[in-house]
Amino acid sequence: MTGALAGALGLVVGLVIGTLGGGGGVLAVPALVYALGQDGRTATTGSIVVVGIISVVGVLARLRERTIDWRTGIAFGASGVPTAWAGTLLNRNVSQSVLLLSFSVLTVAVAVLMLFRSRSATGPGPEPGPPGPGGAGGSGTVTDAPPRRRTAVVRALRVGSAGAVVGFLAGFLGVGGGFLVVPALVVVLGMPMPAAIGTSLLVLTLNAVSSLAARAGDLEVDWRVLGPFVAVAVLGAMAGKLAGNRLSSASLHRGFALLLLLVGGAVGVESALGLGAAA
């Protein structure tokens, strides 16, 4: 019975990650805790395993589509490696109620930000064109060089700082970070949603490897639950990819935000009730 329930929940998580490029972790943690009876720390570890495996499959499935910004993704993921390690260490010293409540607050905040973004703008602005004569976004004259360099520096700082923050929160909350990576790529870096989805999967892979390495000495995983969960989630991710290819960027944007809002709100209410009962 537990295996069947784990498989059903894994299907939902896989569909979400395959369709939206992230957000599966925000479903996996509550599913493992409330439906499958795991404690918060074991669930966050299991969530990282699930998200990491699905993300690898997602990256491989998108190699021919060229929807992954490899340079941005690698830089984003690499900048989050040390902070993911720090977040994982902090995770071990925080109570389950505080962990889940933090998860809820952050999830709802990101959801509101994405909904506000989708209503206040029709879409991200064009990316700066490549330097050089005749390049898009400029004439290629000598006077254009300093602004281009400044733009490159600003973008690099944005990528590095966003990656560091997402890495820390991924390690701390044990959710892979996809629900933060996609909004960061869209809102902070102005990346279109299809590219953000593909690039997010690359970042999730790097974050998962880093977070699991930090937990290597204390890796609590129940494979009787996680095995069927992961197996069916991979199939769901492949189906979700096909569904995502048929949806518009605006639909993906709003769907992602609403998912975060619903899950974050539900976990927040449950956590608040738990804290109230403990008091």
Q: What is the mean pLDDT of residues 158-162?
A: 90
This prediction's pTM: 0.70
CA angle 69, 47, 63 (to 5 degrees): 25
pLDDT band of residue 81 (cuts 50, 70, 90) is confident
Each domain of the chain, given as residue ranges in start order, spans 2-124+145-278
Answer whether residue 5 shows pLDDT above 70: yes
Q: What is the mean pLDDT of residues 60-80?
A: 87
Lowest mean pLDDT among 6-10, 139-143, 168-172, 240-244: 139-143
CA distance 151 to 92: 39
Q: Which residues contact 276 (CB under 8 A, 6 or more apart)?
A: none
CA distance 111 to 255: 10
What does the H/E/C string look like for the chain?
CHHHHHHHHHHHHHHHHHHHCCCHHHHHHHHHHHHCCCCHHHHHHHHHHHHHHHHHHHHHHCCCCCCCCHHHHHHHHHHCHHHHHHHHHHHCCCCHHHHHHHHHHHHHHHHHHHHHHHHHCCCCCCCCCCCCCCCCCCCCCHHHHHHHHHHHHHHHHHHHHHHHHHHHHHHHHCCCCHHHHHHHHHHHCCCCHHHHHHHHHHHHHHHHHHHHHHCHHHCCCCHHHHHHHHHHHHHHHHHHHHHHCCCCHHHHHHHHHHHHHHHHHHHHHHHHHHHHHHC
Answer whether residue 142 shows pLDDT above 90: no
CA distance 51 to 22: 8
Lowest mean pLDDT among 25-29, 119-123, 176-180, 243-247: 119-123
pLDDT band of residue 72 (cuts 50, 70, 90) is very high
Q: What is the mean pLDDT of residues 44-53?
A: 84
Answer whether residue 215 shows pLDDT above 70: yes
Lowest mean pLDDT among 17-31, 81-95, 133-147, 236-250: 133-147
pLDDT tens profile 167-178: 887 777 766 566
CA distance 194 to 69: 11
Q: Which residue has the tokens 């490159």?
A: 152
Answer whether residue 196 shows pLDDT above 80: yes
Lowest mean pLDDT among 7-16, 133-142, 146-155, 183-192: 133-142
Whether residue 224 contacts residue 52, with contact meaning beta carbons closer than 8 Å, is answered with no
Average pLDDT value over all residues in the chain: 77
